[in-house]
Amino acid sequence: MSDKVDGLPPHWRTNGILLIVTFSLCLKLLLVPSYVSTDFDVHRNWMAITNSLPLSKWYYEDTSEWTLDYPPFFAYFEWALSQLAPIDIDPDLLDIRPDPYRSWTTLLYQRLTVIASDIVLVLAALYYTSTLRTDKQKLIVFAVIILNAGLLMLDHIHFQYNGMLLGLLLFSITCLQKGRHITGSILFAICLHFKHINLYCAPAYFTYLLSHYCQPHGRFSFSRFVALGLSVASIFVFSLGPFLFHGVDQLAQILKRLFPFGRGLCHAYWAPNAWAIYNTVDRILARVLRVKNSETGTSPTSGLVQDIEHVVLPTITPSISLILVLLSLSPMLVLLYRRPSALKFKLSVALCSLSFFMFGWHVHEKAILMSIVPLYLVVVDDISLARITFFLTTVGHYSLFPVLYQSGEMMTKICLLLLHSIVCLLGFQQLHPSMRLSWLECLYLSGLVPLQLFVSCLQPAFLPQYPFLPLMFTSIYTSLGTISSYVAIYLRLFTLKE
């Protein structure tokens, strides 16, 4: 489509991208002095471990409770960061110690590493938007990715490296859309070895590649299957090989760290998924029926990260959780296998992540970004998907508010959410001028205002004896939004004409 039809002067795209990146950078620099979570101590300790110890001891070190529990590529990344750390200014920055260590030098260095690593997301967004037809589409999609409120809250306040990791995932998805299947598969394998939560997306990748790449024209190609398998296996060799050189027991230890047992159905803060509703119904029934919890079980509202027993409803076990995840995935994967397309693949990646988020075991609330960001890749294609994406983006980002629990970040997270929601709404309406939210969606989103008023003002003032209420009400309310979005996306997948 020409620039004249697009409605934008030719130079606007470049200037717009530079403006978005500059604005994003300024926001991140302003957030440097913000509160940091225990994840800040986690990553500082990982730098210390990889810098001070031989590779064979990385996954055994337990001086601090913040033990290394990400895959090897992320450990190598931490090692690289440790080599650049300004220890001549702050000699204690890379000390292995049981207690947290904070200093201005440490804070500044680690914050800057997150900001620098976001270049991966910027490049990935540029690479994906190069597949779009008009400058208007490119600018809007680029803006909603780079100005993502969830990434700003989790990476640049709470402290993580989600932007870099999601950038790798977007690179991989774009490569598959462009027909570069081997490259896309290798990039996804790299994603897995940076952070194993990317396993959420693996069923969509496997199904699409098996159908679209390994069976061209309906006939299975053994050579393509082998080439695909060898390319993915090579990443496993690069990742795990240095550890296996020190003995097979290294692999067992890595797996033990990556997949620890003994964690309960829910995180201390309930993720806004099906289990938040399930836990709530169980507690209501227990009150109505006056049934007490067993002496050995732990209440779902205890706030403890361990196994729990439901009082009235059947207690959910890891096997039940896995079965529900697989059942929720099956219809989507069957459709993707029978009628593969780039649009269905992108949508299935988001839906796979959302299925694990809905029914998975011990799901972290932060995992909602694994579903939200891939959805930005389909907003140009369909007006219904654009509307659902806006709705889920707003609800999902609001559900992250309790992660930043200190009062000093209250106005920051509200402003970030409003900014990104406005960018999404106005941008998506530019893409689809007839896009409108339903009255029910507007009513639900309006309900976030009194919810926030209760959480931040009413509960502390009038109900301080019930400190769990803000978390519980936020989880329950936002879970209704995420569940409805999940159902809406699923239904839309099966009505797509492509």
What is the per-residue pLDDT for 262?
67
Averaged confidence pLDDT in the chain: 91
For the cut 80, the answer to whether the pLDDT of residue 261 exceeds it is no
Nearest to 394 by CA among 484, 261, 284, 269: 484
Total count of residues recorded for the chain: 498
Region 85-97: what's the mean pLDDT? 94
For the cut 90, the answer to whether the pLDDT of residue 476 exceeds it is yes
For the cut 50, the answer to whether the pLDDT of residue 297 exceeds it is no
CB 462: neighbour CB atoms within 10 A? 10
pLDDT in tens, 338-356: 999 999 999 999 999 999 9
Confidence class for position 2, pLDDT limits 50, 70, 90: very low
Phi, psi of 68 (to 5 degrees): -70, 115
For the cut 90, the answer to whether the pLDDT of residue 260 exceeds it is no
pLDDT in tens, 194-220: 999 999 999 999 999 999 999 988 889
For the cut 90, the answer to whether the pLDDT of residue 4 exceeds it is no
What is the C-alpha R_g of the chain?
Answer: 23
- Euclidean distance between CA atoms 127 and 122, whole angstroms: 9
- Angle at CA 37, nearest 5°, toward 36 and 43? 95
Token pair in block for residue 85: 């750390």
User: Are 424 and 445 spatial neighbours (Cβ–Cβ below 8 Å)?
Assistant: no
CB 478: neighbour CB atoms within 10 A? 29
> What is the identity of the amino acid at 79?
W
Coil, strand or helix at 223: helix
What is the per-residue pLDDT for 491?
96
- Euclidean distance between CA atoms 56 and 467, whole angstroms: 44
**Residue reference for tokens 């209250």:** 410
Where are the domains positioned within the chain?
3-243, 274-493
Q: How distant is the alpha carbon of residue 445 from its chain centre?
A: 22
Coil, strand or helix at 363: strand
Token pair in block for residue 183: 């490259």
Q: Spell out the alpha helix ranges (H) of 156-221.
A: 162-177, 181-194, 202-208
Region 28-47: what's the mean pLDDT? 94
Q: Which residue has the higher pLDDT, 267 or 402?
A: 402
For the cut 50, the answer to whether the pLDDT of residue 359 exceeds it is yes
Nearest to 141 by CA among 154, 152, 131: 131
Bridge partners for 53 per DSSP:
none
Phi, psi of 101 (to 5 degrees): -125, 130
